[in-house]
Amino acid sequence: MPNHAYHATAAPGVVQRARSTKAGRKLERGGYLTAETVTLWIVYALMILGNAIIEGGQLGGVTSADIAYGVFTWFTPAGYVFSIWSVIYVALIFWLVAYTRSAPSRPRRFSTASVLFIASSALNVLWLTLWHLDAVAVSFIVILAEWAVLAAFYLNVRRTATSASGWVPISLYTAWVTVATLANMAILITRALDGGIAFFNGLSVVALTAGVLALGYIMRKTYDDVAFPLVFLWALIGVGVHVSEVSLFTASIVFILTIVGAVLTFVPAGRLRAAVRR
């Protein structure tokens, strides 16, 4: 009887000590494969599958490029620039791996980050569907919503991530969708103006280029984020290449602004001042 009493009172202490260990917390929370992480991987797979079916199957009898280049829009990157989607989707795998590995340290519920990831994935497929159906105006509303979700997602992971893999993939994604949103808007306006107005087209490209570079500078200085402005530089060089088909003058301005923006963003101010003094 005393033996039984001893075990009865000692067991809770043993359990408590076990729970306090890393392995104990992992077992208690369900390990890496929780309802949350499994759902995220399924959502990611469905997003990739949806993109493959819509684009590969040419929903609406067209490709994304057919809609994007149906009317010449000045603020649109050259075709090769869109290969960044492959980089983004691979990067998201790294984010999912990092997020899955941190599952044992999180409560067994859906976090804000996971909800935002699911929402962004759904909006991604919805946008592509509408784009293929040539619903450019509605697709702009959807991509604007996707951008807002990704912006919130970015801010969330910057606060909570403990490694680069926890936030850099989201930085790449958000930066690119920022450019895609502006391009979507430019296509919508160009269509509404039946090809646009020559002077306005050139001026708008220069203004948007300057605005994107300014945002990249802010992201670099505020969040010490290198990925965000690099995506912008990649996209803007592509815009210059695209615009060169109709205006070498405007393309030259875009290239010059991009170079100046890159220097201001990535070269330390001290070095710039020293170079100017020489």
Within this chain, do residues 123 and 16 fall inside the same structural domain, yes or no? no
Residues 205-225 have pLDDT tens digits of 999 999 999 999 999 999 999
Q: What is the domain count for the chain?
A: 2
Task: Please tell me whether residues 93 and 231 are part of one structural domain.
Answer: yes
Residue 11 has pLDDT above 50, yes or no: no
Using CB atoms within 10 Å of the CB of residue 188, give its burial: 0 to 12 exposed, 13 to 18 middle, 19+ buried.
middle
How far is Cα 134 from Cα 62, in angstroms, rounded to an integer?
9
Residues 219 and 246 in one domain: yes
Same domain for 139 and 19:
no
Give the confidence band of 19 by pLDDT, cuts at 50, 70, 90. very low
- 7 lies in which domain range? 1-29
Do 22 and 53 fall within a single domain?
Answer: no
pLDDT for position 98 = 96
Residues 19 and 104 in one domain: no
Chain-wide mean pLDDT for the chain?
88
Render pLDDT for 54-90 as a digit per residue (tens, 0 to 9): 998 889 889 899 999 988 999 999 999 999 999 999 9
Q: Are residues 143 and 8 in the same domain?
A: no
Phi-psi region of 62 (alpha: psi -120 to 50; beta: other; left: phi over 0): beta
DSSP characters for the chain?
Answer: -HHHHHHHHHHHHHHHHHHHSHHHHHHHHT-S--HHHHHHHHHHHHHHHHHIIIIITTGGG--HHHHHTSS--SS---GGGGGHHHHHHHHHHHHHHHHHHTGGGS-SS--HHHHHHHHHHHHHHHHHHHHHTT-HHHHHHHHHHHHHHHHHHHHHHHHH-SSGGGTHHHHHHHHHHHHHHHHHHHHHHHHHTTS--HHHHHHHHHHHHHHHHHHHHHHHHHH--SHHHHHHHHHHHHHHHHHTTT-HHHHHHHHHHHHHHHHHHHS-HHHHHHHHH-
Task: Please tell me whether residues 167 and 140 are part of one structural domain.
Answer: yes
Spatial separation of the C-alpha atoms in residues 116 and 112, rounded to whole Å: 6
